[in-house]
Amino acid sequence: MRVLVTGGAGFIGSHVVEALRERGHEPVVYDVRDDPAADVRDAAAVARALAGVDAVCHQAAMVGLGTGFADATEYVSRNDLGTAVLLGAMAEAGVGRLVLAGSMVVYGEGRYECRAHGVVRPGPRAVADLDAGRFEPLCPVCGQDLSPGLVGEDAPADPRNVYATTKLAQEHLSAAWARVTAGSAVSLRYHNVYGPRMPRDTPYAGVASFFRSALARGEAPRVFEDGRQRRDFVHVRDVAAANVAALEADTAEGVLRVYNTGSGEPHSVGEMARALAAAHGGPRPVVTGEYRLGDVRHITADPARLRAELGWRPAVGFAEGMREFAAAPDGR
């Protein structure tokens, strides 16, 4: 299969390219890092890149929480306009298979259960609570403590920041494309991806990269809130393998199929910082009590559908992955 990989020179995209080659496919890299003209918003350039292509693996995106709402125009342009241009060109070229780099951020907060009221969906956390160090969401009905759990793909979307909103819009565009063209579309909702070549020293990098950069400078990783917020840290090679599995699968036509793409093993951010610091040889993390508006408290998802339908299993364990990442030169 000849596969156009947008963002194929980036963190996740470059691993997808390697995984495709290992499976005997022909990846075609389309990335502004390699060629400034390779912009997914350029319809003519995208059309040329699609010549002879059987499928598209769409990794190109502006990622992370960013620096504030001033980034909104750029996020929408790169993520949503770019996806619309790409899908339009695919429709014109008759390319009928898409795998999209989705994100768990579309869920907002994760799944919570109240002992009295069952599964509930707490709203955004109040600034006054965050300032006071009250980080856990409470039951919106009775105000009691909640138990976090794994969220499934059928949970309602509730994007809490600009990046999350654009990722959900990408899915809606992909679903519309699939319906109109009878194409095959898959969105892999990535969790916290980490590993070699992870971008660093940028406000758009992931939390593992921030911690690794601090350690490389001889500084203690600074952990926000109380460090107990739960995430699912999944290794980039496992994510690349999920992309290949989705590309090779006999998926339904005319609909978008979504899959949670994570290890299925929640870890706290503080636990991840400690594991990374220990593997690096210190210094130990510092829990700051600071917070970022737009962050959610707990978000971990159930990857059972991906395992059952595509036969995917994560191969890199948490401890092993953190040791490898800690030893990677300059976090790359």
> Per-residue confidence at 295, pLDDT binned at 50, 70, 90?
confident
> Per-residue confidence at 205, pLDDT binned at 50, 70, 90?
low
Domain range list for the chain: 2-110+151-327
Sequence-ordered alpha helix ranges (H) in 50-140 = 72-75, 82-93, 127-131
CATH (residue range 2-110+151-327): 3.40.50.720
158-196 tens-digit pLDDT: 998 899 999 999 999 999 999 999 999 999 999 999 999
91-148 tens-digit pLDDT: 999 999 999 999 999 999 999 999 999 999 998 999 999 999 999 999 999 999 999 9
CA distance 3 to 27: 5
Do 314 and 242 form a contact (C-beta atoms < 8 A)?
Answer: no
218-252 tens-digit pLDDT: 999 999 999 999 999 999 999 999 999 999 999 99
- Token representation of residue 26: 């022909």
Measured CA to CA in angstroms, residue 90 lies from 61, 97, 158 at distances of 18, 9, 29
Measured CA to CA in angstroms, residue 116 lies from 120, 150, 297, 317, 321 at distances of 10, 19, 21, 36, 39
pLDDT score for 109: 92
